[in-house]
Amino acid sequence: MRFEYAQITDVGARSVNEDSIGVFENKGNNCFVVCDGLGGHGMGDVASSLAVEVFKSQFYKADDIETFLDSAFCAAQDILLTEQTVRNAKRKMKTTAVSVVTDKKYAYIGHVGDSRAYVFSHNKVKKRTLDHSIPQMLVIAGDIKESEIRHHPERNTVLKVIGVEWEEAQYELMRAIPLRKCQAFLLCSDGFWELIEEEEMCALLKDSDNVSEWLSRMVDIVRKNGADNNADNFSAIAVWCVK
């Protein structure tokens, strides 16, 4: 199994890009990560960048890919809390994070916040991370439909992030997924997935000749739908699993 990928991070209509992304390879293992700093709390760009750097450093020294995500999320949390003290920024420097890590047989996925990872098979979404947000909780409770998340008035209320004190771990890990069952992955910040429907992701996946084309065509839709709407920063890493 090998991977082909394409990536983008874009400031949108904002003055600062508070998203950070990373792609790393080591000893035949791969790590993809997207972080979205919380701009309303200040220093979101610093928080997301630090988190990606922590994932990178943890990945290159990881002995066990199966337990890597636990160590990476916890290390990122520790670094942000330490930096908040050092920089006198106690109520600042918060970020979401989503990561897909692979060894030779499995994909391991973890997230905190509302940045998403999608898993595709046979041109369909087979799994996705569930946002740590009020609308997602309402979907789980059966109070609203999945289709209502994007336009819910509390869409931007994120319930869990890196950079606040945890009584217990706030990140969530998916059960390991056999790579033989995976066609593609998409990791993205909310500025990306809010502006493109899953049906469009799947249709473009089916009709694209390579991963760069797939991402480029999705970005075209995101830009079009975000025009004249003070579009947020948006970031994505598209990954094709090549057997």
* Residue-wise pLDDT tens digits, 8-37: 999 999 999 999 999 999 999 999 999 999
Specify the 3-state DSSP secondary structure of 172.
strand
Instruction: Check: CB of residue 177 under 8 Å from CB of residue 109.
Output: yes
Question: What is residue 156's predicted lDDT score, i.e. its pLDDT?
Answer: 87
Rounded Cα distance, 48 and 21, in Å? 8
Report, as an integer, the average pLDDT of 58-72: 95
Q: What is the mean pLDDT of residues 152-172?
A: 94
Nearest to 23 by CA among 6, 47, 1: 6
Backbone phi, psi, residue 150, to 5°: -60, -30
pLDDT of residue 42: 82
Q: Which token pair is 16?
A: 């600062």
Q: What is the pLDDT of residue 8?
A: 98
Structural domain boundaries in the chain: 2-242
Residue-wise pLDDT for 90-122, tens only, equals: 889 999 999 999 999 999 999 999 999 999 999
Residue 232 corresponds to which amino acid? D
pLDDT, average across residues 147-173? 94
What's the pLDDT tens digit per position in 72-94?
Answer: 999 999 999 999 999 998 889 99
Contact call for residues 21 and 189 (beta carbons, < 8 A) = no
Per-residue pLDDT at 204 exceeds 90: yes
CB 236 within 8 A of CB 192: yes
| Percent of the chain with pLDDT strictly greater than 70 | 100
| CATH superfamily label, 2-242 | PPM-type phosphatase domain (3.60.40.10)
**What are the φ/ψ torsions at residue 37 (nearest 5 degrees)?**
-70, 145
Token code pair at residue 12: 């949108």
Residue (of 154, 125, 161, 122) closest to 139 by Cα position: 154
